[in-house]
Amino acid sequence: MTRGRIGARALRDQLGDWRGDAPAYEALSDRVKLLLLDGRISADIRMPAERELATALGLSRTTVAAAYRRLREAGYATSLQGSGTTTALPRTRVERPIAGDGLIDFVHASLPATKLLAEVMNDDLLDDFRCQFSTIGYDGVGQPELRQAIADWYTSRGLPTDPGEILVTTGSQSAIHMAARALVARGDRVWAEGPSYPNAFDALRDAGARIVTTPVTVDDGWDMDALESTFQRTAPTVAYTMPDFHNPTGRSMSADDRRRFLEAADAACTTVNVDEATAELDIDRAETHPPLGALAVGGGPEILHISSASKPIWGGLRIGWIRATPAMLRRIAAVRGSSDLAVPVFEQLVVTRLLPRVDEIAEERREQLRAGRDAAREAIAELLPDWTFPAHLDGGLAAWVNLGAPLSTQLVLAAHARGLLIASGPRFGVDGAFERNLRIPITVPPEYLRHGLELMAELWPSAHRIASADSDYAGTVA
């Protein structure tokens, strides 16, 4: 029994712009493999009939049949007489890309816990926790002490905040998801950066958004002219942005661009969901910036500030938050129950103790990220001279590397087969763009970074060879 099916049009939408230099049957099967590896389509679901998919994609049936055969041969599909083709994951693969069993994890750009976590795990914390045993132990708004600590954190950064403007969430991912569900109606246009944080794209799509993007590049940052004309033309309901430090490019928006951004959003009546989960990850940036809303005090668009303890303190605590008006928070709280009931009290007690020390923690992070950035830059210059590491990377989680050739998918699939788990460039776009890019997390300890990049250097020539050998083959499978 299969668990469900995916129709030809739904699969076409998921595939995005999958065509590249490789022959169509290969590019198609590679993109389906990636969707499976990224969890964007599940294993054990019925694929569309060959004829239906061929019509939806404007291909010959022979090409789709060849793509399905290639998926079967690699273990990503099975077919039984009379019951069509069903997606699968090869037995050798782990279901989720979690490090362990000798796997190298370049998928998660996250740091281990701050050293200060051990310090606060003391009797005082346990005493406070014991006092909670007579309560239900979780709450859907956030503990008053934590909301106060978060409000103080914003105030100290130049954005005066009252605890009533804070809603505590299960990490910022849940905040992004809930805010999208509260604000976006099916079919609404939502603006986001291209590339952007993939789980935000997924959350926005879940809410029914039609996503429009404008570019952010490693060299030039935000294309403000394109952004302004897109806001003017499409009047997006919501804009989802990461001004510090943009994931995956690591860019930080200039003060002037922030002003232009807010003016464009205001003129288009667009609500801004600003994701500042990575804002504390400054390595050696020349200029620091207050939270985005500090520029709009007394006017401007409605802004929801989304942030989290995950990047500075520890992702394992799963504490995030939204700063917004109490009326907006009530709207968000109203959609909460169906997906994310509440946040556990224990983790909130921990974050309440650590948040006031976040500047001290930022120092620790600075050293870790500097070591990761420098190790990745050196290893790439030495081992992968075709690749371009960003000339300036002064903060954030990752380096958005240019491979110099549209081979991201090929390389990622080869790396997966050798136990190195990494997200391909197209995962960071809405339409399959970014085949020339790869996100290298600088959060990984230098020795693992080196090890992973050595493996990629070993695989890189074969990614090239596969692509060119297959181009010779192009035309034989039409």
Ligand X SMILES: Cc1ncc(COP(=O)(O)O)c(C=O)c1O
Residues near ligand X, by CB under 6 A: 109, 171-173, 197, 242, 247, 275, 277-278, 308, 310, 315, 320
Name the minimum Å distance from CB 211 to ligand X. Answer: 16
By beta-carbon proximity to ligand X, the closer residue of 28 and 319 is 319
Name the minimum Å distance from CB 310 to ligand X. Answer: 3
Using CB positions, name the residue nearest to ligand X.
171
What letter represents residue 297's amino acid?
V
Name the minimum Å distance from CB 424 to ligand X. Answer: 16
What's the start-to-end Cα distance of the chain, in Å? Answer: 33
By beta-carbon proximity to ligand X, the closer residue of 6 and 279 is 279
By beta-carbon proximity to ligand X, the closer residue of 88 and 179 is 179
With residue 181 as reference, give the H or E element that holds it.
helix 171-183
By beta-carbon proximity to ligand X, the closer residue of 376 and 477 is 376
Name the minimum Å distance from CB 14 to ligand X. Answer: 22
By beta-carbon proximity to ligand X, the closer residue of 25 and 222 is 222
What DSSP line would sit under 292-344, residue for residue?
GGGGGTTSSS-EEEEEESTTTT-GGG-EEEEE--HHHHHHHHHHHTTT---EE
Sign of the dihedral through C-alpha 37, 41, 42, 43:
negative
Name the minimum Å distance from CB 24 to ligand X. Answer: 33
Rounded CA-CA distance 32/182 in Å is: 31
By beta-carbon proximity to ligand X, the closer residue of 23 and 194 is 194
DSSP state of 270: P
Residue with tokens 């668009």, as numbered in its chain: 301
By beta-carbon proximity to ligand X, the closer residue of 47 and 358 is 358
Q: Which of 413, 430, 434 is nearest to 422 (CA)?
A: 413
Name the minimum Å distance from CB 311 to ligand X. Answer: 7
Name the minimum Å distance from CB 278 to ligand X. Answer: 5
What letter represents residue 84's amino acid?
G
Q: Which of 31, 39, 68 is nearest to 52 (CA)?
A: 68
Expressed in percent and rounded to 5, the helix, strand and coil fractions of the chain are 45, 15, 40
What DSSP line would sit under 90-115, residue for residue?
-TTS-SS--SBTTBEE-S-------T
